[in-house]
Structure 1
Amino acid sequence: MAASSDFYSLVCAIDFGTTFSGYAYSPKVEYQYDPLNITVPKWEDALPSNLISYKTPTTLLLDKDKNFVAFGFEAEYTYAELAEEEKNEDYFYIQRFKMFLYDTLRKQQRLTKDTTIKDITGKKEVKAIDVFKHAIEYFRKQMLKKIDMKGLGVQEANIRWVLTVPAIWTDAAKQFMIAAAEGAGISKSKLTLALEPEAASIYCNSLPLSKFEDGSGLGGFQVGQKYLVLDAGGGTVDITVHEVKEDKTLKELEKASGGDWGGNYVDYKFKKFLTSLVTSEVMEIFRLRHTGEYIELFQDFENIKRKTDTTQQSRVTMRMPGSLRELYETIRKTPLKKAIEESKNRESIKWEGDKLRFTIAFYEDFFSSACAGIICHVHDLLDKPKVKGTNMILMVGGFSESPILQTRIKQAFRDCKVVIPNDPSLAVLKGAVNFGHNPCVISERIAKYWYGIASFQKFNPKVHSSEKKKGDLCCDIFDICVRRGAIFKLHNSQIKGPYETNQDDQKEMDFEIYVSDSDKPPKYVTDEESYYLGTLRVELPKTEKGKKHAVFLRFIFGGTELHVQATNNVNEEVTITMFDFLDKHSDKKKGGIR
């Protein structure tokens, strides 16, 4: 959804990462003179020892009544204190909740306004939409405080808000974020969704050479330049390929794709190793009894993962809580040191005092699966006909800060120029601000799915399955509205219809929308790779007796979301609406237009 064209004086972007989140802003008047003059507030007040961070952990703390308590660093420290005092039982502590949406959709589970997320204990649940609402509202209030403190003289009604979402997210996930933003007090008319790799691409295109890690970056894309954007975040890796057009806008060459090879997968491998070392029983008790130290343990690993350059040292060392070792020795009745000496990893690890040391090879193995998944996928993309000639890879996102990932990508793609901005974790956030100022900079996108309406056709025994016969008709037809891989310029549309009513006095028509990611055009909405997306309801005016309605649908693509216009044949009134992707139906609907 593009924000309305109404007057705005400031753009504020909120970037939800799986691990870290942040916000940034830019007044319209400053953008016109310098698009790089973007303010990213610091979080030093929430950090110890005068440390500074431009992002805060994607962590939410709610009280027993599910009311907001804290977000980010403050949520982590507050919960750790509660845990140490054994007062945390009634609180909801929820981390890395963005990945929950990806997992839900990847499993093709229905995402509704009643979908729930479990807290850190795994025993308590809260509505997912409320979690995102609280988080968005937190950043909205931070922005309003900043306006007041800085004396920017901006009214909230004149703010254009931008929310970042992965390009691989479905329409349902996008609508979910819009609904959460509305619940947080952001009007739909003031909201724009920015696709993360696109935002990073926009930002990096405007950077001078000095803003890249090795001093040799893009310096502004040339017309005809093709480049791959590798947005490696905490949860997912989001990849798109762009080409610069004559008018300096960007054209998508291949539909956005990716997978769950982000930095969290490295965390998972580390946690799996640690659990195998101390046993799952000890790890679970440690998590419940020493929650604060459990959280800090994985915070420490996160910092090491992002910064450790294994070419500059012989071993990797990290701090370990003494309570974990004590717990192990109490429960297992044996010294941990002895257990390590008898394990298969005895040559690769040492646990001395509060330090755990890995050999370089052992530590790098935590990254192997994630790096392999990324590299394999990029190879497949670069082999596609439309992408041929792409010789540049732009690395952004928090996981792209990892020296190990950077090295693996450079080694795997020696024929490509790999460029990394100085602040890869902020590229999406800053680019989202620029996108808010100029949403038309991405002029062509590619449809990721087949979109279709559940419909009827006259039954033909040579073409249709007998199982689908209903009277003289064949039901469950996947009536294709949008073809997968179709290229859409901004605001392009496609018309389908007419669709006629079944009854003279019909007051509305329901169109059941299905999508499919199959290689071939789907035949039925019940095909294995087809799933129900949502329902479009069109209200109909009164007609003369004996006269039926007919409706034409116009699917509008090219933006970050799918829109639709419905036109009836009675008064030719145009209804602009969005699909309801978040209804409570959990099963596929079957049949056709009603």
Structure 2
Amino acid sequence: MSSSQSQNNISENCTWFCSIDIGTSYSGYAFAPRGNLTEKSCEIYSGVWENDVLSHKTPTSVLLDQTKHFIAFGHEADSEYENLVQEKEHEKCFYFRDFKMELYNTVVSRDLSIKDYHGKSCKAQQIFVESIRFLREHFLKVLGVRYCYTVEDDICYTVTVPAIWSDAAKQFMKEAAIEAGICEGRLMLAYEPEAAALFCMQLTRDRRATNCEPMHFVPDQPYMVVDLGGGTADITVQKISSTDIVHNLYKASGGPWGGNQINKVFFQLLVKLFGETAFQKFCEDSMVDFFNLTQKIEIAKRKISMIGDRSVVIETPPPLLHTEEELKCLKNAIQEANLQDMVNAKLGKLIIKNKYFLEYFQVICGKTVDLVTSIIQTENLQIRSIVLVGGFSESKVVQSIFKDSFPKNNVLIPMGAELAVLKGAVIYGFDSSIIDTRICRYTYGIKLERRFNPNVDDPSKTFMKGDQLYTEDCFDKFFEIGEPVAVGTKRSIKVHLNHDDENLSCDLSGPKEIEVFASPEKSPLYTTDIACHSCGMIYVPAPVGGLPVHVKGRIEIEVTGVDNFRITYIDDEDFTFSSPGHIDFMSTHKNSAQDKAIQNSSNQGSSPHFEKVIAYNS
């Protein structure tokens, strides 16, 4: 969507609504026609995948050939890769799994590379593009076959992203979706916990039950949504008005505490019992068996209960445990690891008592519980209900840990918690105006120069401009951490530049740029503070006819959606407007030589960049 287009206008002329979720371990899509998304009834369909244990989602796997051209996605990618392994052709290809966390763990740029299963690198953008393109095309095929509908111009797409992702990561996903063939004018992003909350709201309208008690949101009563996926825990706090409008009350929070951490515990146990060499050989030589084992572990994880002496049974693939001699070796390994009270083995089966895993659940869930406790206690939000969604929330142990940790709160798990994000994102695509405000995760601002104030300013940051003493690198904020920001909120940046300066050579018709900074502090003093970092660039086109020689005006920033801003330059002299600009969160000012040149010229009163020509505060 254009940065100047409000999300609220996207769905007006759409007939179908589709959401796409690239998950850490599993991906999928959901969809519905406009007629299904009424207030009283909300029937939303999800993609169905054949030959998959988790039928409403498919593994997040991508297979490329040796020239990096797309071969397959999901279950088909896993199966095809296994065939290549059998034919000893797999090392020529690129095979990726569980790559979503790369956008959480790293600094995201368009040049970001990720490594495949065997350590070979590929551009991350291509992997996400191919994933989104496959899901989009699968959806279109289903739409054409089942509903004889093929007009994509009438389809609104919503791509889900964790709310705790960086601005750059969210922009990365949007650009990947556009490159995957989704029209920018019919695309929006949805925050995963917000989407899940919308799904839960719809359950209350449909009067469906949760698996613990009826879902009910009291108007103006704060509630918390904890989205527990495979990779992350994503937390948001909201309230619903009497008119069913959602207001966010606390900044998005969370961390890398998803259900895949328990999967790792399973695999670590298998390595301990079978030996690292044997298990690694199994993973490489028996890919289908390995993938099937992964799915069985996913299912077993959800069956683990708080009753420690009960057991879960994992069917061990033949390559790992096939003969009586191998069983004997395994039992010896169990004895040597001193696990005989927790683990037992039979031919083809590994029997593990729940108590082996409970400590790990406590550690992993404990990080999320600690954060939830901190939010409840420090923010004094009077939260009554905690809603758990996402695949990891379907674990009985996870549910018990949260209920035990928050006995004074209603801990609710809606029906279909695993698909809550996908289905809620369809609802959001239909009516994004239902979410009114979001909370800033950081303080955002730009760099300016102002007249030196001896009571506030650092003397080491002073310089002379004419006969006046100025301070450089001052942080001028336009959004503050914790601030509620609604669609339509506007902020202005005053700018002043004299192009007559003999030291300044600048194209008056070209776009201008301002470096954007972010800080976790409410009132940072300088853009060079340790906690402050460069997070993007504002690009502002010149008005028709170019900028005047003497620039005196303001740059207006208007919030138009989850990931969108309308950026406009307005001249104070003749009130001319520029065409809409944009904020690029994957572009930062890194040219140190250019920085030095700008610094030198600014000491003479000039600069080719707007971030050095903000109207000086007296």
**For the residues of structure 2 that align with 1:413 and 1:432, how far apart are their CA atoms?**
28
Match for residue 365 of structure 1 among 328, 353, 359: 359
Residue in structure 1 matched with residue 169 of structure 2 by the alignment: 173
Question: Structure 1, unaligned stretches of length 5 or more?
Answer: none
Q: Is the 8 A contact 2:232 2:257 kept in 1?
A: yes
The change in CA–CA distance for 1:386 and 1:548 in structure 2 (over 3 A counts) is: farther
The change in CA–CA distance for 1:275 and 1:241 in structure 2 (over 3 A counts) is: same
Q: Shift in Å at residue 251 of structure 1?
A: 0.9
Residue in structure 1 matched with residue 58 of structure 2 by the alignment: 56
User: Which has the larger displacement, 395-404 or 582-591?
Assistant: 582-591
1:593 aligns with 2:612: yes
The change in CA–CA distance for 1:256 and 1:302 in structure 2 (over 3 A counts) is: same
The change in CA–CA distance for 1:324 and 1:551 in structure 2 (over 3 A counts) is: farther
Residue in structure 2 matched with residue 211 of structure 1 by the alignment: 208
**For the residues of structure 2 that align with 1:147 and 1:501, how far apart are their CA atoms?**
58
Task: Return structure 1 stretches of 4+ with deviation > 6 angstroms.
Answer: 542-546, 584-589
Q: Shift in Å at residue 217 of structure 1?
A: 2.0
Match for residue 429 of structure 1 among 422, 426, 445: 422
**For the residues of structure 1 that align with 2:488 and 2:591, how far apart are their CA atoms?**
32
The change in CA–CA distance for 1:404 and 1:531 in structure 2 (over 3 A counts) is: same
Q: Is the 8 A contact 2:543 2:578 kept in 1?
A: no
The change in CA–CA distance for 1:166 and 1:35 in structure 2 (over 3 A counts) is: farther
SS at match of 1:231: strand
The change in CA–CA distance for 1:237 and 1:586 in structure 2 (over 3 A counts) is: farther
Q: Is the 8 A contact 1:445 1:558 kept in 2?
A: no
Q: Is the 8 A contact 1:555 1:562 kept in 2?
A: no
Q: Is the 8 A contact 2:163 2:193 kept in 1?
A: yes
1:511 aligns with 2:514: yes
Q: Shift in Å at residue 443 of structure 1?
A: 0.9
User: Which has the larger displacement, 23-32 or 229-238?
Assistant: 23-32
**For the residues of structure 1 that align with 2:390 and 2:426, how far apart are their CA atoms?**
16
In the TM superposition, 1:439-478 aligns within 5 A as: 439-460=432-453, 463-472=456-465, 473-478=470-475
The change in CA–CA distance for 1:422 and 1:312 in structure 2 (over 3 A counts) is: farther
Q: Shift in Å at residue 274 of structure 1?
A: 3.3
Q: Shift in Å at residue 434 of structure 1?
A: 0.6
Amino acid at match of 1:29: G
Residue in structure 2 matched with residue 144 of structure 1 by the alignment: 140
The change in CA–CA distance for 1:187 and 1:538 in structure 2 (over 3 A counts) is: same
What is the CA deviation profile of residues 80-138 of structure 1, one whole-angstrom value per residue up to 9, with x for unaligned ones? 2322332211121111221110111xxxx2x11110111111x2111111111001111
SS at match of 1:218: coil
Residue in structure 2 matched with residue 536 of structure 1 by the alignment: 538
1:293 aligns with 2:296: no
Amino acid at match of 1:93: Y
Q: Shift in Å at residue 397 of structure 1?
A: 0.5
SS at match of 1:206: helix
Match for residue 488 of structure 2 among 470, 491, 510: 491
**For the residues of structure 1 that align with 2:286 and 2:150, how far apart are their CA atoms?**
45
SS at match of 2:220: coil
**For the residues of structure 1 that align with 2:68 and 2:546, how far apart are their CA atoms?**
53
Q: Is the 8 A contact 1:501 1:509 kept in 2?
A: no
User: Which has the larger displacement, 294-303 or 12-21?
Assistant: 294-303
Amino acid at match of 1:113: R
User: Which has the larger displacement, 524-533 or 539-548?
Assistant: 539-548
Q: Is the 8 A contact 2:309 2:355 kept in 1?
A: no
**For the residues of structure 2 that align with 1:546 and 1:164, how far apart are their CA atoms?**
42
1:552 aligns with 2:554: yes
What is the CA deviation profile of residues 197-230 of structure 1, one whole-angstrom value per residue up to 9, with x for unaligned ones? 11111111121476334362224x3322221101
**For the residues of structure 2 that align with 1:341 and 1:457, how far apart are their CA atoms?**
72
In the TM superposition, 1:213-228 aligns within 5 A as: 213-214=210-211, 216-219=213-216, 221-228=217-224
Residue in structure 1 matched with residue 339 of structure 2 by the alignment: 345
Q: Shift in Å at residue 537 of structure 1?
A: 2.1
**For the residues of structure 1 that align with 2:178 and 2:530, how far apart are their CA atoms?**
34
**For the residues of structure 1 that align with 2:331 and 2:536, how far apart are their CA atoms?**
57
* Aligned residue-pair number: 577
What is the CA deviation profile of residues 398-454 of structure 1, one whole-angstrom value per residue up to 9, with x for unaligned ones? 111111101111111111111111200111111111111110001121111110112
Amino acid at match of 1:511: I
**For the residues of structure 1 that align with 2:560 and 2:440, how far apart are their CA atoms?**
8
The change in CA–CA distance for 1:448 and 1:476 in structure 2 (over 3 A counts) is: same
Question: Structure 2, unaligned stretches of length 5 or more?
Answer: 2-6, 600-610, 614-618
1:572 aligns with 2:576: yes
Residue in structure 1 matched with residue 239 of structure 2 by the alignment: 243
SS at match of 2:584: coil
Q: Is the 8 A contact 1:200 1:428 kept in 2?
A: yes
Q: Shift in Å at residue 275 of structure 1?
A: 3.1
Amino acid at match of 1:516: S
Amino acid at match of 2:228: A
Residue in structure 1 matched with residue 604 of structure 2 by the alignment: none
The change in CA–CA distance for 1:546 and 1:323 in structure 2 (over 3 A counts) is: closer
**For the residues of structure 2 that align with 1:587 and 1:168, how far apart are their CA atoms?**
29
1:41 aligns with 2:81: no
The change in CA–CA distance for 1:571 and 1:493 in structure 2 (over 3 A counts) is: closer
Q: Is the 8 A contact 1:551 1:566 kept in 2?
A: no
Amino acid at match of 2:45: T
The change in CA–CA distance for 1:249 and 1:545 in structure 2 (over 3 A counts) is: closer
SS at match of 1:418: strand
Aligned-residue CA RMSD (Å): 2.8
Match for residue 164 of structure 1 among 146, 160, 166: 160
**For the residues of structure 2 that align with 1:404 and 1:544, how far apart are their CA atoms?**
63
What is the CA deviation profile of residues 497-555 of structure 1, one whole-angstrom value per residue up to 9, with x for unaligned ones? 1343565655242100111123x422222222211111112233488998411342223
Q: Is the 8 A contact 2:541 2:580 kept in 1?
A: no
Residue in structure 1 matched with residue 603 of structure 2 by the alignment: none
Residue in structure 2 matched with residue 119 of structure 1 by the alignment: 116
1:73 aligns with 2:75: yes
Q: Is the 8 A contact 2:541 2:581 kept in 1?
A: no
Amino acid at match of 1:234: G
**For the residues of structure 1 that align with 2:98 and 2:228, how far apart are their CA atoms?**
15
The change in CA–CA distance for 1:197 and 1:33 in structure 2 (over 3 A counts) is: closer
Residue in structure 1 matched with residue 401 of structure 2 by the alignment: 408
The change in CA–CA distance for 1:120 and 1:222 in structure 2 (over 3 A counts) is: same
Q: Is the 8 A contact 1:160 1:190 kept in 2?
A: yes
Q: Is the 8 A contact 1:3 1:188 kept in 2?
A: no
SS at match of 1:535: strand
Q: Shift in Å at residue 356 of structure 1?
A: 1.8
Q: Is the 8 A contact 1:231 1:397 kept in 2?
A: yes
Q: Shift in Å at residue 279 of structure 1?
A: 4.5
Amino acid at match of 2:528: T
Q: Shift in Å at residue 459 of structure 1?
A: 4.0
**For the residues of structure 2 that align with 1:178 and 1:553, how far apart are their CA atoms?**
25
Q: Percent identity?
A: 32
Q: Is the 8 A contact 1:167 1:257 kept in 2?
A: yes
**For the residues of structure 2 that align with 1:177 and 1:452, how far apart are their CA atoms?**
24
Q: Is the 8 A contact 1:200 1:432 kept in 2?
A: yes
SS at match of 2:561: coil
User: Which has the larger displacement, 542-551 or 237-246?
Assistant: 542-551
User: Which has the larger displacement, 436-445 or 76-85?
Assistant: 76-85
SS at match of 1:120: coil
Q: Shift in Å at residue 154 of structure 1?
A: 4.9
What is the CA deviation profile of residues 23-50 of structure 1, one whole-angstrom value per residue up to 9, with x for unaligned ones? 1111113323754111113113x43xxx
Amino acid at match of 1:408: I
Q: Is the 8 A contact 1:253 1:386 kept in 2?
A: no
